[in-house]
Structure 1
Amino acid sequence: MRSRLVPVLLLDSRKRLVKTRQFSEEVYIGDPFNVIRIFNEKEVDEICVLDIDASQEGRSPDLGVISELASECFMPMSYGGGIRSAADVAPILAAGVEKVVIGRAAAEATLIKELAGSFGSQAVAACIDCRRVNDGWRVALDRGRTLTSIDPVTYAEMIEQAGAGEIMLQSIDRDGERQGYDTQLISRVSAAVDLPVVALGGAGNLEHLLEGLRAGASAVASGSAFVFIGRLRAVLITYPSMRDLESRQSAKTQR
């Protein structure tokens, strides 16, 4: 199976597309529907849409918006934000979403077990947000506001045992910085579980995406790498072709 490159779109409470830095400093990017149409033209592998305010505001998923976004997508789409039960998930999948991304609620293994049992592991991805602490990492919840005592490897193993089909591994410290992934974090978690690990947080260019794959990720995801260009972070929707990816991989191997 070839590597996947996954644009991640963040929606705020007003359903605008934004980009964050270390989970704050939200910058307006554009209308999510227009951006999805551009990604359709670029034939992206899949797309992930996250409502970053839903859980904090106690909102349930906005099924109307989700349905409209899914109907615009020509590629597989995953969705996360405000999901607390199987009752939330059923209509989301029925609307055409391929899988749901569980954030804070993933701390409750019972929910993952319930979702995997009801819809299949392939429909359930769990997002692990991490902060670096001294020489290691700790899992953080509530958009990074709550730092737990749990290390991401232990958390990933729990998620795997609960029945999730995929892990989205995110470095909060590198979110939006465009300086590259935390490759040590990716390597440790990827080596500890058999689940596909999707790296997120820090990529700013094609080389960073390749570094994430070389570190052990099954797929690499980013917001910045696909919506910003240049030092001044000008908004430009881009997506590398498979020819670009394979050519860069080949050149790296031959060195």
Structure 2
Amino acid sequence: MTKFRPCIDLHQGQVKQIVGGSLNEQGATTNFVSAHDAAYYANIYREQGLTGGHVIALGPGNQEQALLALKTWPGGLQFGGGVNHENASAFLEAGASHVIVTSYLFDGGRFSFEKLESIKKETSAERLVLDLSCRRTDKGWQIATDRWQTITDTVINQATLNELEHHCAEFLIHAADVEGLQAGIDQELVALLGEICTIPVTYAGGARCLDDLKLVNQLSAGKVDLTIGSALDIFGGEGVTLKECIHWNQR
């Protein structure tokens, strides 16, 4: 069954919810800026026994908050954002259950299996999550790196995912075109992921209410989990409460 997965998104040293497609070096269109630090949210998730969530550092200036979250809920959160073969083990030692990697794995828009093997030596496949966040193109969905601004030549399809799933524990896939818009999930992408993935996969992007958990469960036959960010009450949203998501997971 589809599960709700929590998140903590960090931007410029603060917990925020942003419109994913707007993120660049100058900033981002912001839906919510929290008065609380990352530990506050990590503690909520710890108290509620919510595991498998992700802490994502969107750009520089977020390491202090990231480490604070990992320390607060050791083993309960994954971490991504600037992860490479040199620092991956440090984040695992700091309390991350897994590290999440994307941009590091690409050279000039091309996927590097050499880099994948390099980071696997530090983490093992069992503690590595591949972030295959993507944007819709005329080819379908292509993986996007560098704050989701660089479209790579790697397409989200059965051949790609079947090959990569042998090298990691999970996939994390943000639909960058709808991320933060609360305008509904990318239903075609969710259905495709449910059809072709044989390892755990979390989808993020566009979720706006509890019914989206039901919809993802239906579209993916329960194989794809869902992250809800901007619509969630603890991030200033009005679409769904954390209490409702917890109740969904306990069904």
Deviation of the 1:94 alpha carbon: 1.1
Distance in 1 of aligned mates of 2:34 and 2:243 = 16
Deviation of the 1:204 alpha carbon: 1.4
Distance in 1 of aligned mates of 2:66 and 2:34 = 19
Partner of 2:238: 230
TM-score for both structures, normalised by structure 1 = 0.79
SS where residue 84 of structure 2 aligns?
Answer: coil
SS where residue 126 of structure 1 aligns?
Answer: strand
Q: Contact conserved, 2:8 with 2:56, CA < 8 A, in 1?
A: yes
Q: Which amino acid aligns with 1:222?
A: I
Matched residues, percent identical?
18
* Unpaired segments ≥5 residues, structure 1: 248-255
Partner of 1:89: 88
Q: Contact conserved, 2:38 with 2:66, CA < 8 A, in 1?
A: no
Which of these residues, 20, 29, 32, is aligned with residue 38 of structure 2? 32
Partner of 1:138: 142
Deviation of the 1:74 alpha carbon: 6.4
110-119 vs 172-181, greater mean Cα deviation? 110-119
Which of these residues, 158, 164, 188, is aligned with residue 159 of structure 1? 164
Partner of 1:105: 104
SS where residue 133 of structure 2 aligns?
Answer: strand
Deviation of the 1:113 alpha carbon: 2.5
Matched, 1:50 2:49: no
Deviation of the 1:230 alpha carbon: 2.7
215-224 vs 110-119, greater mean Cα deviation? 110-119
- Kindly report the root-mean-square deviation, in angstroms, between the aligned alpha carbons of the 2 structures: 2.7
Q: Which is bigger in relative contact order (C-alpha 8 A, separation at least 6)?
A: 2
TM-score for both structures, normalised by structure 2 = 0.80
Distance in 1 of aligned mates of 2:97 and 2:131 = 16
Partner of 1:67: 67
Distance in 2 of aligned mates of 1:44 and 1:229 = 19
Q: What whole-Å deviation, never above 9, does each CA across 1:152-181 have from its counterpart, x for those lacking one?
A: 1144334224x1111111111110121222
Which of these residues, 170, 177, 184, is aligned with residue 180 of structure 1? 184
Distance in 2 of aligned mates of 1:65 and 1:241 = 25
Distance in 2 of aligned mates of 1:32 and 1:122 = 26
Q: Which amino acid aligns with 2:207?
A: A
95-104 vs 23-32, greater mean Cα deviation? 23-32
SS where residue 50 of structure 2 aligns?
Answer: coil
Distance in 2 of aligned mates of 1:83 and 1:159 = 18
Partner of 1:21: 19
* Unpaired segments ≥5 residues, structure 2: 23-28, 106-110
